[in-house]
């Protein structure tokens, strides 16, 4: 007899069964309601495409498809004319999963969701939040984003 997974062989003589307890943890599958970190890849007129890179409370990487879509109607409580005013390619965002199948859908409507790390569009250095403006200390460029309330104070283990 061969086990389907690697692990420790455990015998339960009272219930007369045997099993293999896995040594490694099970790969993460996204669920509706998960809070995730994602990196913005593409911005279109009606949506943002982001690559999900981390799930709150998990230490393992995500298995399966990690491309998430953030529709313009799911970015903010208020009207958003163009997603390019809210996000930029390379930004790290905190988002909530609203749908997993057939594709990953995200939303950033709550105040704790949005950009947590932004990059300057001119020199790609990290932007620093000053009041409601993001400023690049390297080149002085000033930009606006749809930032999370705790922009710049992020920890992968405490999204």
The model's pTM: 0.79
The 3-state secondary structure of 100-151 reads CCCCEEEECCCCCCEEEECECCCCCCEEEEECCEEEECCCCCEECCCECCCC
What are the tokens at 99? 């749908």
Q: What is the CATH number of domain 35-115?
A: 2.40.50.140
Question: Is pLDDT above 80 for 158?
Answer: no
Residue 107: per-residue pLDDT: 95
What angle (nearest 5°) sits at the alpha carbon of residue 63, between those of residues 59 and 65? 130
Counting Cα atoms < 13 Å in the Cβ hemisphere of 114 gives 21
pLDDT digits (tens, 9 = 90+) for 102-141: 899 999 999 999 999 999 999 999 999 998 899 999 998 9
pLDDT digits (tens, 9 = 90+) for 67-100: 999 999 999 988 988 999 999 999 999 999 999 8
Sequence spans of domains, the chain: 35-115
User: What's the alpha-carbon Rg for the chain, to the nearest Å?
Assistant: 20
Question: Does 156 or 6 have the greater pLDDT score?
Answer: 6
Question: Is pLDDT above 80 for 47?
Answer: yes
pLDDT digits (tens, 9 = 90+) for 31-44: 899 999 999 999 99
Query: What is the arithmetic mean of pLDDT over 13-25?
Result: 82
Q: Which one, of 1, 55, 52, lies nearest residue 26 by Cα?
A: 55
């Amino acid at each position: 007899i061969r086990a389907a997974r690697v692990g420790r062989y455990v015998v339960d003589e009272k219930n007369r069964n045997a099993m293999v307890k896995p040594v490694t943890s099970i790969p993460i599958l996204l669920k509706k309601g998960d809070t995730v970190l994602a990196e913005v890849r593409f911005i279109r007129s009606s949506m943002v495409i982001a690559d999900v890179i981390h799930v709150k409370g998990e230490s393992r990487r995500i298995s399966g498809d990690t491309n998430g879509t953030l529709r313009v109607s799911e970015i903010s409580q208020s009207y958003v004319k163009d997603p390019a005013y809210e996000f930029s390619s390379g930004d790290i965002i905190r988002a909530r999963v609203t749908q997993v199948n057939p594709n990953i859908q995200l939303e950033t409507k709550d105040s704790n969701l949005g950009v947590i790390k932004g990059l300057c569009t001119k020199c790609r250095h990290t932007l620093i939040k000053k009041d409601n403006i993001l400023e690049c200390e390297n080149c002085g460029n000033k930009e606006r984003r749809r930032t999370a309330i705790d922009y710049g104070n992020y920890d992968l283990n405490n999204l």
